[in-house]
Chain A
């Protein structure tokens, strides 16, 4: 699985972007998105998903169940 951002709730504050260890987060038209192929759910880096921990709006960075769980190599 990867994380995704609920665009309608994103304030565009950018707090998540620099925290991502994989540079998976990018901006488009004032709203932020996660590239699922880059997101490792922070596994191997931090105990908490950094985008979730940094985001000021609850339930905005959430698990995208359409992707399989990330497996550390």
Chain B
């Protein structure tokens, strides 16, 4: 695969991004992308993003909720499940459910025909003017269903030309469809690449269906990786942005993902999203049944950290469902079932959408300016760093009640910087006003590597239990900007350590929540 880059003219704007900033002072607006990435900016494309990204790429991604750590607060994406077939088998996938490369395992999306999909997109876009991105990511492989995928794109391009299109693929069929993709103005393609070495690949992919044959083992993995690399190069040569997804499988590709990162960076990928394997016996996958475990939060962070400075890393992926609708971390698909869409009278008003988006853009600029203003002087860095969990509903502020949080944003804080490193999903503590005490241990597990949790409010009972677990609940920064709050809390923490009031100890690892996510 090393020959890959040769002979392919890579437009200069798509050359691998060098000099990606790793240290981020307070930039990460992170929130949104949830996870944006770790390096704050780098990953999600970042809030202020331009400075570590060529201007043209920034232009393309800044309003993409999956790529820009800031955009996902303001813009929504949706997926339509028009692509049920797949042409490979992954050991972490049970084909009764949606493609695990793009969704959490164990979820089933409502399959749509291209006609139903177009209707649904128009209905959602009229209802939710922030909806700017339409993706086809399953429930199988977008390019194993070329007729359905491209029929959907063709019609949407005609009927809703302001909506951006993207698709996800395992890459096997990609080289055959790059020209087709280029026709439809699909400017974002996600390829799931878990390996660049067939010796690793044969442990992940038992077989592929290629050239009218079922091919097994190492030969299958060799073909898959060759096709993935070729497809990536071809997209890059045509100026189509590519994001790479990798599933981190401990003991199989954890160390190898560094090589994957370099390989995809060399071929022009602009974003690399490393996500945890989610594996439970009840999903009925090969890995689930063989007891292959997923990574802990620390293992995931270690690999992400090792890959920083390669292709831009993205840490906000929430592995949402193939028919998700809404802002990242939110799913309104229940409001748009087939039956409901049939009842709707849809008038696609592109002007109204444009006006709304302009308003959003203005608000976003204002918010950005306010946040920069809130960040004052920062003290010198001495290398001490901790993680803090933040409960937020968006807007870059600490503004959510502990009991209402179904996920926490995790920031790494030093004396002078805050870096968004990811999301942790939890089961709601508060249901109908009463705290669920059974839920608390699972929340503690999910943020067990954090020193503090910043919330707008917290009840007495969970407060005591968090304290007992060694996690400091902090309410005093309610409605302040996250970066400012985290830095101020940490300065105060360091003072208390210096005075001997508390002892600084490192925290343990945390668990990644398993099971299907239904962003209710």
Contacts and interface: CB of A to CB of B under 8 A. Distances in A.
Given A13-B95, A14-B145, A56 B86 contact: yes
Nearest to B147: A18
Contact of B214 (A12, A18, A30, A48): A48
Given A13-B140, A18-B147, A54 B96 contact: no
A15 B86 CA distance: 6
Given A56-B95, A57-B95, A15 B87 contact: yes
Interface in B84-113: 84-87, 89, 95-96, 111
Contacts of B87: 15, 54
Interface string B203-241: 000000100111000000000000000000000000000
Interface string B186-211: 00000000000000000000000100
Interface in A1-39: 11-15, 18-19, 30
A12 B209 contact: no
Contacts of B144: 15
Nearest to A50: B212
A13 B85 contact: yes
Interface in A44-58: 46-48, 50, 52-54, 56-57
Contact of B89 (A11, A14, A30, A56): A56
A52 B214 CA distance: 9
Nearest to B95: A56
Interface in B326-375: none
Nearest to B214: A53
A8 to B, nearest CB: 12
Interface residues of A, number: 17
B85 A14 contact: yes
B84 A12 contact: yes
A18 B173 CA distance: 14
A3 B95 CA distance: 22
A35 B86 CA distance: 23
A5 B235 CA distance: 38
Contacts of A54: 85, 87, 209, 214
A53 B211 CA distance: 11
A11 B209 contact: no
Contacts of A13: 84-86, 95, 140
Nearest to B140: A13
B112 to A, nearest CB: 12
A48 B212 contact: yes
Contact of A48 (B85, B89, B213): B213
A30 B89 CA distance: 21
Nearest to A47: B213
Contacts of A12: 84, 111
A3 to B, nearest CB: 15
Contacts of A50: 212
Contacts of B84: 11-15
A11 B95 contact: yes
A11 B87 CA distance: 14
Nearest to A53: B214
A15 B212 contact: no
Contacts of A14: 84-85, 145
A15 B96 contact: no
Interface string B289-327: 000000000000000000000000000000000000000
A14 B209 CA distance: 14
A36 B271 CA distance: 48
Given A11-B95, A15-B144, A53 B209 contact: yes
Contacts of B213: 46-48, 53
A11 B212 contact: no
A59 B144 CA distance: 21
Nearest to A18: B147
Contacts of A30: 111
Contacts of B147: 18
Interface in B104-142: 111, 140
Nearest to A42: B212
A12 B140 CA distance: 11
A18 B86 CA distance: 12
A29 B96 CA distance: 16
B96 A11 contact: yes
B214 A15 contact: no
A54 to B, nearest CB: 5
Interface string B484-516: 000000000000000000000000000000000
Given A13-B95, A15-B140, A56-B95, A46 B86 contact: no
Interface of B: 84-87, 89, 95-96, 111, 140, 144-145, 147, 209, 212-214
Given A11-B96, A53-B214, A54-B214, 10 more contacts: A13-B86, A13-B140, A15-B85, A15-B87, A15-B144, A19-B212, A47-B213, A48-B214, A53-B212, A56-B89
24 contacts: A11-B84, A11-B95, A11-B96, A12-B111, A13-B140, A14-B84, A14-B85, A14-B145, A15-B84, A15-B87, A15-B209, A18-B85, A18-B147, A19-B212, A46-B213, A48-B213, A48-B214, A52-B214, A53-B212, A54-B87, A54-B209, A56-B86, A56-B89, A56-B95
Q: Rank and list the top 5 A-B pairs by shortest CB-CB distance, nearest first.
A: A15-B85, A53-B214, A56-B95, A13-B84, A14-B85
